[in-house]
Chains A and B, each alone.
Chain A
Amino acid sequence: MSGRTDSGNMSRGKSSISGPRSSERRSFLGALLALGSCCIGALLSIPLIRFALFPLLRRTTDLEPSPLGPLIDFSSLSEPLSKTIQVEQVDGWRKEVSEKTVYVTKDSHGQLCVLSSICPHLGCTLPWVGSKNEFVCPCHGAVFAPDGSRVSGPARRGMDTLKTTTKDGQLLVRFQNFRQLVADKEVMD
């Protein structure tokens, strides 16, 4: 191995005008250059990393809360009211607007709540059957009470409530999809 190094030095000795002192200087300068290059490289790689990791740092697919209408409209609710909302799904630089049906109703404590119309069994849209005072799934016959709680049928949980907020007297709802066929409500992202 030392022979290898020696022959390397020999060949360099020919073109180089450096002695031992200048060789020392060369290695010091080399370290300085390496350090400087690394610093500048590291500094410039920060924006690159931030740029590439943007989807990790911020949600790039997001749902905006959808307006349902003024709160007063729901003050004298006697049965679940079907509402079609526009859901804006942001997907990077584009957005998709879709329509979803939700029900504005009152929960067991008489508080205003919003139910997803998607059956927690297999995802059919639940119609409100006024004559029976129940939600009845047309696909597999799951039945739910006006407040969304499970009455009978194959569903393993009651209808899913959606998160609501109020802003300037308007009721807003944040639409979400939930996992089907499970006993506990589980958000699907």
Chain B
Amino acid sequence: MSVDAPPSTLSFTAPRETVATVLQAVGRAVSSRSSVQILGGILLRTDNGSVEAAATDMELSLRATIDAKIAGEGAVVVPGRVLLDIVRVLPPGEVTFAQLSGESMMSITCGSASYRVHTYDATDFPELPTAADGETHSLPPAPFFDTLATVGKAASRDESRPVLTGILIRLAGNRLVMAATDSYRLSVKESPIELPPGLELDAVVPARALNEVARLGAGAGDSSLELAVQQNQIIFGYSGMWLSARRIDGQFPNYEQLKPDSFEAEMRASRDELGEVVRRVAVLAQRNTALRLGLSEGQLSLRSQTQDVGEAEETMPVSFTGEPIEIGFNPAFFLEGLESVDSDEVVLRLINPLRPGLISDGSDDFWYLIMPIRLAS
């Protein structure tokens, strides 16, 4: 927010615990690598009788208010890293922040500890997206956070295809769909959700920003998640925090089209037991080598081999229908698929060693499509 020159200098006092909690939460949006110095800072400003703290790296922003006694109105940007380091070690008690008039410095005092730190001009801080009154909708948080936790890991980290670094969120007709893919696997979950009338959404939101939303969800539960949809931004409000995320332009892959119509083979196994076996065998699938699954009637054998390191093998009883097959998967991708399944039994459907496999709980509400590794021999 471009802030007009403050009429006075910022000064406020609040308990250390309050300050530390808010700043550490907001500080997660501080840009660590930006070449723009001010993005490494946290904005502190008075706003309607409270103090607002905000940070952004231009992809996402976080804002929250500090419940404080205000002695002077104003706004200032304090370098984030040093501010967080300070509040972390302050002794218990009241902390006073005071902008020093005529100087671009701020004093921070708490008990007998006192600091003076250089600051930046708040007028240089970018304007952050905010939700106008009446623009926000209330959602039940549980389905949103559960769905996000299920698909989140499948998003890509490769910046060369930006749309895949996002998670597709669809809200319509009391259904929530989220989908994520890095082009090697695709995770799709659909959940019932009670939507306020008039709310529809079809947006791709950076997975990194949604990870931060998920962190908000991990804290104490509010009864509702606030959502505001703007042309270029999505704004989330939860537990006193506001997070805005840039929407990603571009066409998300048509996930329904990628899902094969039919499969040739099906395995059913205990999710936890299979997970244990995979973890044990995967130890020797190093340097991007494949976890090899050999399936035949009643049995799954898992193998891995890394040149110059060694090999591992383990078999387990499973229920299997279809012709015997050997197929290779990236062990990490495979495990993440298993871990996304929210039931005791996991179903793996296959076509052939070069076509995608599908991991699910047997229902149509969640599916995880995983492309094989083409085996050398």
Q: Do A and B bind each other?
A: no
- Where the two chains meet, the residues of A that have a C-beta atom closer than 8 Å to any C-beta of B are none
